[in-house]
Chain A
Amino acid sequence: MSFEEIHKTYWQRVFRLCMGYVNDRDWAKDIAQETFITVWQQLPKFKNESSIGTWIFRIASNHCLRQLEKDKRMMKTALPAQIEEKPPPDIEDKVQFLYKCISELPETDRIIISLELEDIDQAEISNIVGLSESNIRVKIHRIKEKLTEKFKHYEH
């Protein structure tokens, strides 16, 4: 796969992972670009020990973690437990709410749920994150429960 093809195929997926982590479009775009710069630099060294997707998501999630060094822009506002009487949220609102909820989870959970929502199988997530598959399974279950609960409050 050439770099151009990789960039085209994976841009949206990497961007979403970064959005889930920081919930800020410009910032997410910066991290995604840094990810692809690393992919471009390291591509000649890539050995087919893992799939190219796993490799790219490892690089992307590590770039997300690197943001801990420049975390000043991160907004940590608490989510309202219950939304006051408002018209039912449209799809765009729900998307924003989902990304906001994810970006407020602990850092590792943000990466795990983003990868899960990208349809990456749990064995690969375990490989990317560095936790056992059973841990990943439990974590995904708990995070989804948490998100569903927040959506219940949000929608009603």
Chain B
Amino acid sequence: MNTNTDLKQLWNTQTSEVPSINELFKKASKLRNFTRYKLLIVNIMLAVTLAGLTIMAFHSHTMSSTASIGITLTVLAIVAYLYASNEIIKLLFKSDFDSSNSEYLRNLIQLKHKQEFLQKTITTFSFICLSVGVFLYMYDEAVQRGLEYSLIAYGLTGAWIAFNWFYTRPRTIKKQLTNLTEIIQKLETVNAQFAETK
């Protein structure tokens, strides 16, 4: 068989009905609205948290400094988490589709590593801030109410934080990262196809 002609002939036999331009525009606006909606939600939460922080700062003269620091750390944990979510959404919709395939793949791998870093580091950072924040916030109350109360309150909170740190946190990170790690592996396998021929 004449490979070239035959393969090209067979290849060109495959056709598909050309969809209308309107169908395409509808899909484009659906995609755009989806991204905007996600970004909007995250940013509203960010704004509300920052507003909360500002209000607390104004009223901080009524609280002791340890409680203020505690609240600030707690809010910081939430802000950090929302910031990471915001960055991840932006990364996911970043487009450099007109680079060459090898360059595009390299950028995609970098982007996924960045996403991995953001998820892993920020989740840990948020947990630390949240835990320390709660401990500090409770400090004054515990000192005022005596040793027995302190032991019970800190014991229970400590147990709760330990549960989150040793059980919830690793599971959250694992869940988020397993999928991402698989994707990175697949991307790297394909990237190796470029390297093999160089």
Contacts and interface: CB of A to CB of B under 8 A. Distances in A.
Contacts of A119: 8
A14 B104 CA distance: 18
Given A106-B193, A130-B103, A99 B14 contact: yes
Q: Classify the interface of chain B: helix, strand, loop or mixed.
A: helix
A118 to B, nearest CB: 8
A8 interface: yes
A107 B193 contact: yes
Contacts of B14: 15-16, 19, 95, 99
A81 interface: no
Interface stretch (B16-24, B72-80, B147-155): B16-24
A82 interface: no
Q: Classify the interface of chain A: helix, strand, loop or mixed.
A: helix
A129 B198 CA distance: 12
A148 B98 contact: no
- Kindly state the interface size class of chain A when it binds its partner: 35 or more
Contacts of B18: 7-8, 11-12
Interface of B: 1, 3-4, 6-8, 10-16, 18-19, 21, 23-25, 27-28, 31, 95, 97-105, 108, 183, 186-187, 190, 193-194, 197-198
Interface of A: 3-4, 7-8, 11-12, 15-16, 19-20, 25, 28-29, 32-33, 36-38, 40-42, 55, 58-59, 61-63, 65-66, 68-69, 71, 91, 94-95, 98-99, 106-109, 111, 114, 117-119, 127-132, 135, 138-139, 144, 147-148, 151, 155
